[in-house]
Structures are given as structure tokens and as C-alpha cells.
Structure 1
Amino acid sequence: MATKKKIITEQELLSMSDDDYMNEAQLDFFRARLQAMESELRHNAGQTTESMRQTQTATDPNDRATIEEEHALELRTRDRERKLLKKVQAALKRIDDGEYGWCAETGEPIGIARLLARPTATLSLEAQQRREIKQKMYND
């Protein structure tokens, strides 16, 4: 029977030294966080499907317009969550591949604080800022 690993707390994670970067305990912490995000996103998608299936049709044009607007908003939210789900799944794959926590552009550590704020990050803060500056220059 497999024993369940104890996941470190965020406080324990933050108190680790730089030498411990992306050790097994840290990877387990982020894997658990990403799996929880994935589970929540999948649950939300199921809830949306169920609530839209149960929606009553309204005969009053104002009520019907309100319902349609609520559905449109719900679908936009689910579309954003669907895109986030893909990023979460990609991050879980990077954990399995041993690439999680390292900048895809520079190979430098992304950093624990950034990964706590955005567990799906693929770029260090500096690389992300450079990319945003380039995008702004070329999109203006």
C-alpha cells in the first residue's frame, strides 16, 4: 500500500534555501497545488454544463435577454478557465519532465515567489518583462 506524501506548507516552502530550489518537496508542493487547480477547473466546467442544461426558457423578451447575457458571461469565463486548464496541464507535464521552475527562455530559476503567485509561469519575471516590452513596442 502506497503511503501518501506529506506536502510541505507554503511557509516551509518559503523558508527553504536557494540550494533546495526545485527539490522533491518543492515539486510535490507545486504538483499538489496544480492538481487542486485542475480539479477545481474541471468541477467548474461540469457545473456550467449542468446549470445551462437546467435553465428554463423565458417567454418575456427582457428575461430571455438577461438569461442569454448570463450564459454568454458564463461561457466567456469557462473559455478563460479552459485556457488556464491547458496551462495547468502543461505545468504538470513540466514537473514530470524535470523542467518546472526554470525559465523557458533563459534557463534561470523562475523563483518560488513568482511560482506561488502564478504556478503556471514559464518565464522568469525579467524574461516576462522583456517579452511584454517587445510586444508593446511591436503592437503599438
Structure 2
Amino acid sequence: MTKEKLLAMPADDYMNAEQHAFFVELLQGMKVEIHERIEQSRIAIESLDTPADPADAASVEEERHWLVNVIDRDQRMLPQLEMALSRIADDTFGWCDDSGEPIGL
């Protein structure tokens, strides 16, 4: 299913099996991308050498810091994706916890 088809569905179809499948596929794809990005960032960190020139060393350290932040952000996203997938499994995804109203697409 495409995003356009999903958005064109009638309100009565909100969070039906077809929409659940769309979101499961989307979230699983996001998990794969995040795992790949984490691995690529780790490889990039391992390949960084500390040059003798202080200016170059500072530049490398800044890149290392940026990559660590990418890994940290991605690792914090993974549990959120798992939580969304578990909410799909228990049919609470897309519904407000407090009011029980649909959140909407």
C-alpha cells in the first residue's frame, strides 16, 4: 500500500488490517535503516585516525563527536519503534491513550 492510498481510505477503515500492515512495514524498514546507520557510524569512528596537527585533530574529534551523537540518537529511537510495533500488535496504535480517540493519519 502507498501513503496516498492509505490517506485516501475512508475514516471507517481507520487502523484496519491493511493500515496495520502498512505501518508494520514502515516501522520495520525504519529499524533496518537505523541499524545500518549505527553500524556505518561505528565503522566510520573506528577508521578515524588522530592526526599530529592540532587543527586536523580538532576536526577529527568534532567528526567523532558528531558520529557518537548519531549513534546515540538512533539507539534512543529503536525502543520507540519497538513500542509502536507492540502497540500495533495489541491494537492500540493510532489511538489516544487518554481519550481513546483516533490520533489520525
TM range (shorter): over 0.9
Task: Look up the match of 2:44.
Answer: 51
Q: Deviation of residue 80 (structure 1)?
A: 1.6
CA distance in 1: counterparts of 2:70 and 2:45, whole angstroms: 14
CA distance in 1: counterparts of 2:49 and 2:63, whole angstroms: 13
CA distance in 2: counterparts of 1:14 and 1:60, whole angstroms: 55
CA distance in 1: counterparts of 2:53 and 2:12, whole angstroms: 65
Task: Look up the match of 1:31.
Answer: 24
Task: Look up the match of 2:59.
Answer: 66
Q: Deviation of residue 81 (structure 1)?
A: 1.7
Return the match for 2:10 from 11, 17, 20: 17
Greater relative contact order, per chain length (Cα 8 Å cut-off, separation 6+): 2
Find the residue that maps to 1:92 and give its secondary structure: helix
**Is the CA contact (8 Å cut-off) linking 2:87 and 2:93 kept in structure 1?**
yes
CA distance in 2: counterparts of 1:51 and 1:72, whole angstroms: 12
Task: Look up the match of 2:78.
Answer: 85
Percent identity over the alignment is 39
Superposed CA RMSD in Å reads: 1.0
Q: Which amino acid aligns with 2:70?
A: T
Find the residue that maps to 2:76 and give its secondary structure: helix
**Is the CA contact (8 Å cut-off) linking 2:49 and 2:60 kept in structure 1?**
no
Q: Deviation of residue 17 (structure 1)?
A: 0.7
Equivalent residues, number? 105
Q: Deviation of residue 68 (structure 1)?
A: 0.7
When normalised by structure 2's length, the TM-score is: 0.94
User: Gaps spanning 5+ residues in structure 2: where?
Assistant: none
